[in-house]
Every structure is written in C-alpha cells, then in structure tokens.
Amino acid sequence: MGPVRDANPTARILLAERQRRDVHVVVNAATSADGKLSSRRREQIAISGPEDFDRVDRIRADSDAVMVGVGTVLADDPSLTLDDAERRERRTENGWSPNPARVVADSRARTPTDARVLDDEATTYVLTGADAPDERIDALRAAGAEIVPTSSERVDLDAAVEQLEAAGIDRLMVEGGGELIFSLFSAGLVDELSVFVGSTIIGGRDAPTLADGEGFVEEFPALALEDVERLDDGVVLTWSA
Ligand SMILES: NC(=O)C1=CN([C@@H]2O[C@H](COP(=O)(O)OP(=O)(O)OC[C@H]3O[C@@H](n4cnc5c(N)ncnc54)[C@H](OP(=O)(O)O)[C@@H]3O)[C@@H](O)[C@H]2O)C=CC1
Ligand SMILES: Nc1nc(O)c(N)c(N[C@@H]2O[C@H](COP(=O)(O)O)[C@@H](O)[C@H]2O)n1
C-alpha cells in the first residue's frame, strides 16, 4: 500500500470491505491521449493496436468472466470471446470452458435478444435491477441468458458480484464503459486497473471517458501505479486499487 493510500481513510475502509470478497476484479480499457473511450457518437473506435488487442485477449483468457455495461452492448455489440484459438484450446485442456463467461450490467433488461453476447459461444449472465420488465427477462432467458436479479433500481453491483462468485467466478475482467467503471470504483469493487493510452485525441465534452457517472467530489479512490509499458503507439498503465 503506497503512502497516498495510507493517508486516505476512505481507501482503507474500501480495502477492508473488499477483503470480505474473493472475486478479483480487473478493469481494462483503452483511451485516447485525452482520456476518451470513444467519440461523442459513442461508436466503437479501435484505439488499441494489434499488440494491445492481443494483451486484452490474454486477460480475457485468464478470466472466468468478462463484463460490460448495457451501454457498451448497445453501442458496440461486442462478442467478448477469445480471438486466439490456441488460448481457447488451452482453457479446454485445463478443464475450463473455451471462452470466459460474459456478464452484462443491464438494470432494465434492454440487451437485444440478437446481441452477440447472447450467442452460443459462452454462458452469459445478465445482471438486472428491481424494475426490469418480466417480459424482457423472459425474452432474455429464452435467448439463453442466465438472469442475476438484484433488488435496487440500478444493478446492485456488490450483490451481483456476490452471486457471480457463488456461480464460480473468481476472476472478473471489466471492459467498460465509463458509466459501469465509475460505479465499480464507487462500490469499492476494483482490484486492478489497466489502461492502454493511445496516441490520438478524440475530444468532445459528451464523449465517454474512463470513469463517467456522477464523478467523485471529495473522496477520490487512490491507486498505486504498478507498471508502465510501451505497446503499439501508446502505453499501458497498470494500477492496483
Ligand atoms: N475504448 C474502450 O476500451 C471501450 C470503449 N467503450 C465505449 O464506451 C461507450 C459506452 O459506455 P457507457 O455509455 O458509459 O456505457 P456502459 O457500458 O458503462 O453501460 C452503462 C449502462 O449500464 C447500465 N448499468 C446497470 N447497472 C449499472 C450500475 N450499477 N452502474 C452503472 N451503469 C449500470 C446502465 O443502464 P441501465 O440503467 O439501463 O441499466 C448504464 O446506462 C461506447 O461508446 C463504447 O464504444 C466501451 C468499453 C471499452
Ligand atoms: N481494449 C480495447 N481497446 C479498444 O480500442 C476498444 N475499442 C475496446 N473496446 C472494447 O472491446 C469490446 C469489443 O469486443 P469484441 O472484439 O467484440 O469481443 C468493446 O465492446 C469494448 O468493450 N477495448
């Protein structure tokens, strides 16, 4: 624990809370040099180059599940599966599923039933809130989703992570977007953050950033810088939280 975090009582409380849970949460994303995840159009932008996408694939391969918010599903329609066939084979040899499971934080069950995260490549958990319409939940179940209900209006991430842990998920990778990442920090659930910072400027006050949500105003989660690595035309920064 670094000196800044030692001096921060909030961080100590968050650490103490986190020690009660065994799920290791790794957040990984790519930002432009000015901290944006995408443009104001919220379309998928390849900020990472081939080396970084390979690093992302490696983290996915080492994870039990890969999580995004429904905003990312609606914007990007990601598959969240492994690109590298050898990594899938290695997982199978180890007795794991070929791809990690997928997790979508989706309070109102808005994930489209034809979304790629609901294909047959992996188990998909959809975390829902108290107001998710029954017909949407039924439709997602029919499309193959495992529903993880929580009792607050927006997904209660702490309760959801506990249920994921009960389902055997010990290493959870989170890819974004900014709304979900902020909430995870707010809930004290993040153990590790790695960010590929690419050499481009996206700009735009309405473009998503690494951590959006309401933002912190007084007590800011403190991180400890663990590693700095040049990759593609950018840099990967890794912190423990
Ligand atoms: N460059 C990169 O590495 C990445 C870029 N992106 C980009 O980010 C953008 C999408 O990000 P963003 O719009 O922030 O969407 P998110 O993927 O963060 O999803 C946000 C939505 O998740 C739902 N949600 C459910 N529970 C919670 C919770 N407890 N806290 C927060 N959100 C919750 C909310 O919808 P509801 O209330 O309906 O549940 C919310 O609107 C896209 O442009 C995408 O391309 C995304 C990932 C990585
Ligand atoms: N690490 C990273 N670098 C970028 O440049 C990105 N645009 C993203 N986006 C994330 O990757 C998901 C796409 O996944 P699939 O290739 O479809 O499996 C996308 O939804 C974002 O979460 N990430």
pLDDT for 41-95, tens place per residue?
999 999 999 999 999 999 999 999 999 999 999 999 999 999 999 999 999 999 9
Is 176's C-beta closer than 6 angstroms to any atom of ligand 1? yes
E strands, the chain, in order: 24-31, 65-69, 101-105, 124-128, 146-149, 171-176, 192-197, 224-231, 234-240
Q: How far is the CA of 63 from the centre of ligand 2 (A)?
A: 16
Q: How far is the CA of 78 from the centre of ligand 1 (A)?
A: 12
Between CA 138 and CA 10 the distance in angstroms is: 40
Q: What pLDDT sits at residue 10?
A: 41
pLDDT for 179-220, tens place per residue?
999 999 999 999 999 999 999 999 999 999 999 999 999 999
Map out the domains of the chain with their CATH numbers.
3-240 (3.40.430.10)
| Cα dist from 175 to 37, 64, 220, whole Å | 11, 14, 21
Q: What pLDDT sits at residue 12?
A: 38
Is 124's C-beta closer than 6 angstroms to any atom of ligand 1? no
Q: What pLDDT sits at residue 240?
A: 98
pLDDT band at 16 (very low <50, low <70, confident <90, very high): very low
For a mutational test of ligand 1's pocket, the pick from 179, 186, 202, i.e. the residue with the most ligand atoms closer than 8 A to its C-beta, is 179
What six digits make up the tokens of 108? Answer: 């109102």
Task: Please give the average per-residue pLDDT across 102-118, as a whole number.
Answer: 98
Q: How far is the CA of 140 from the centre of ligand 2 (A)?
A: 23
pLDDT band at 21 (very low <50, low <70, confident <90, very high): low
The average confidence (pLDDT) of the chain is 93
Percent above pLDDT 70 for the chain: 91
